[in-house]
Amino acid sequence: MIHVTRITIGIAVVGAFALAVATTTTLPSPNDLITKAKDSGLESIPAGKALTQYQQQKLKETGIASGYSPLLTKEQIELGKKLYFDPRLSSSNLISCNTCHNLGLAGTDVVPAAIGHKWAANTQNLNSPTVLNSVFNDVQFWDGRAHHLGDQAQGPIENPVEMSAPSKLAVEKIVSIPEYTQEFKKAYGEKVKIDFKLIADTIALYEMTLVTPSRYDKFLNGDTKALTKAEQDGLDTFIEKGCTSCHAGINLGGSMQAFSVVDTYKFEKIGGFKGDKDGLVKTPTLRNIMQTAPYFHNGQYWEITDAIKEMGRIQLGITITDKEAQSIATFFKSLDGQMPSVTYPLLPPVSSKTPKPTF
């Protein structure tokens, strides 16, 4: 068995002499590290038929587009993409799902607090989580109030400080556009009922396809050369420090966890967000984390190493050194995944019946 040895140089003072003291820590072999990662609850993104089975199971569990079959067809996904990019689902005709979850920016908006209707910031200064890989989350929203992507898609459309379009208005807009009516029929059949749930669920079907497998997944699946030695070192540090107690599963996050467990988050007062009724907060995914700054629910950290050290302090009650934080950040680079290929859709024109924008 091959092992890599980490050497740390310390200084011991003996009388008038300073002596260099070398200590060694044995790192696991790549194969042992893979086993260690899996034993810590880390999982790779399913691929091929396994991904299809995962998606279909999610649909069955959540009731997205229930009553229609088959689901995740090419027509449904393409329609969902158009709705995702269409700003006319907002009352102002200016804000789409892609505004806050920009697929050209790793599914985020790169500002601390989401900006919505009338240029208003989120009332709790909440940061927009990435939409990429959101199918692998246990819950949606920072407080976990939505249990699947269909529920989540409804929220921002109706929220007065986001897209500010009541469900009735959103439906009225879509059904007033003849091409959309035809596309819903192609996607779901001639007897389709275009209601607010189906609009949101169709957006969710598109979002379910936005997955980004990475070199990290190849490593977990047995390709021992997929990660560099430095990245393997960072993964081992990540596990040893206890980060997988929250950041586990396929998404290295996505479940509800206690926040500020040991100490108080430095910027807790900004926005005043307290989590759900039990004080739990959805753990953000670490996939593509190097591309989704700023960090934390209220977007107060721009440097990933600072965010890592803060998590060690408030969640684990430990001091993570600069060197350890940099090592973990090096591992995070392996979580940069293959981005979905997205062609901006041509959206159908409005009709004389389409409600005019309001501001």
The token duo for 217 is: 């997944």
CA distances from 189 to 36, 69, 74 (A): 48, 9, 14
Nearest to 47 by CA among 221, 182, 307: 221
Nearest to 90 by CA among 198, 162, 175: 162
Distance CA 96, CA 197 (A): 17
Distance CA 30, CA 85 (A): 42
Distance CA 248, CA 251 (A): 7
Given the residues 162, 183, 231, 310, the one annotated as active site:
162
- At 93 the three-state DSSP class reads coil
The token duo for 317 is: 């009650």
Give the dihedral sign, CA 106/136/201/124.
negative
Assess whether the previous peptide bond of 70 is cis (omega < 30° from 0).
yes
Q: Is 158 a catalytic residue?
A: no
Residue written as tokens 């439906």?
171
Residue ranges at the known binding site for heme c: 97, 100-101, 117, 243, 246-247, 311
- Supply the residues annotated as catalytic: 162
